[in-house]
Structure 1
Amino acid sequence: MTNDTVTEHEHIVEVADRLFYERGIHAVGMDAIRTEAGVPLKRLYAEFSSKDALLEEVLRYRSGVWDAGIAGAAATAHTPREKLLAIYDFLDGWFRTDDFRGCGFINSFGEMGAVSPAVAAIAREQKERFQRYVASLVDELGAPAALADQLAILAEGAQTTAAISGSPTAAAQARAAAATLIDAALASSAKG
């Protein structure tokens, strides 16, 4: 195990998350996870009845990591506008990590969504939760509700663009576009 506070269950999830994210879901079997996690195969299956069950737990774990990252970025901001723009600052930092491979939910949905209703549902739930988070900040800002959809699409598009291009600049471009959209929405609201 990685440390005393991480349970064996959590350790397996973290290992599976890393392997699925690095190599893809289909490319990683339970034996590879067992080996990397350092647990007997029987113990792995006692914790997770199937690879699908493990994948579902991995996606829930990844959702928590994403939520914590976004919340951490917002915690440094003081206004709703700054909190919205902090999303793109968070993305910029993430895109610059050595292990960035795009959005784990988009990747999982692309690989498994057609054959796993559970994976599709978890990916949709995560995207909807992010959308609600952005919408709450837009509401706090006092801007039109449609702005939330636009800002969320910018964040999603930046993730895909950065993964495919291999360049972190998509975050800065999305942030600049978000600032323009926010300012235009606020100016339009002030006129109306």
Structure 2
Amino acid sequence: MPAPLTAEQKADDRELLLAAAESLIYASGVQAVGMDRIREASGLSLKRIYSMFRTKEDIVVAVLRQRDTRWRADLAAFVARFDDPTQRILAVFDWLRNWFAGNGFRGCAWINIHGELGASAPAVLAEVRAHKAAFRAQITALTESERPEVADAIYLLAEGAIVTAGINGTPEIADVARRAAERLLRTGK
């Protein structure tokens, strides 16, 4: 009988699994990726995978949570480089443009998965909503000196740019959204 896994081995296996699942799901979609593909890409046995996650839906939720943490932290680190509050807000769109232009950009993972699964996977839907609420809160915190409707408009410009870039494959849409945000911040309308 093999020796029990250490906490470090368990954590490593979890990270390996989630990295493989995220890559496959983001590239191909949830329904197109079977557990055998996840097993093969992660190098873990199905028995090991199911000992960590009871269902594929549980894996998708974990992938989205991990991606949310990384995605929002990367955005926060990027905008924190700017001292001026207005420049911090506009930097959101610069960060988005960099993301859109990145290799393998396929739009918003949360919107893609929601489009695939809709309300049929309540735990996934809750995770999608949690990410969108957290992103909105992040934008609101950046725009704290502005009126609430300005924060809402900036959030919607960012979300619209994400969706449009995902559909059209045009990173430049972030520049269009940035210019609109700049006008909005300048005029308050």
Structure 1 length as normaliser, TM-score?
Answer: 0.90
Match of 1:69 in 2: 74
Matches of 1:98 and 1:133, distance apart in 2: 25
Q: Match for 1:173: what amino acid?
A: V
Find 1:54's aligned residue among 59, 63, 85: 59
Q: Percent identity?
A: 39
Q: Deviations over 1:59-78 (max 9, x none)?
A: 10110121112112112111
Which of 27, 30, 44 does residue 32 from structure 2 map onto? 27
Instruction: State the alpha-carbon separation in 2 of the partners of residues 165 and 55 from structure 1.
Output: 25
Question: Which amino acid counterpart does residue 86 of structure 1 have in structure 2?
Answer: A
Q: After the TM superposition, list the runs of 4 or more consecutive aligned residues in structure 1 that deviate by more than 3 angstroms.
A: none
Which amino acid letter does the alignment assign opposite residue 135 of structure 1?
A: T
Alignment match, 2:106: 101
Q: Does 1:8 align with 2:30?
A: no
Cα deviation 1:48-91 (Å, max 9, x = unaligned): 11101100100101101211121121121112111111111110
State TM-score, norm by structure 2: 0.91
Q: 1:102–1:160: 8 Å Cα contact kept in structure 2?
A: yes
Alpha-carbon distance between aligned partners in 1 of 2:85 and 2:124, rounded to the nearest angstrom: 32
Q: Distance in 1 between matches of 2:82 and 2:184?
A: 19
1:73–1:89 contact (8 Å) kept in structure 2:
no
Residue pairs, 1:1-192, within 5 angstroms:
7-139=12-144, 142-185=145-188
Q: Which amino acid aligns with 1:136?
A: A
Q: What is the CA distance between 1:114 and its match in structure 2? A: 2.1
- Separation in 2 of the partners of 1:13 and 1:168? 27
Cα drift, residue 150 of structure 1: 0.4
Query: Aligned partners of 1:73, 1:163: CA distance in 2, in Å?
Result: 21
Q: CA RMSD in A?
A: 1.3
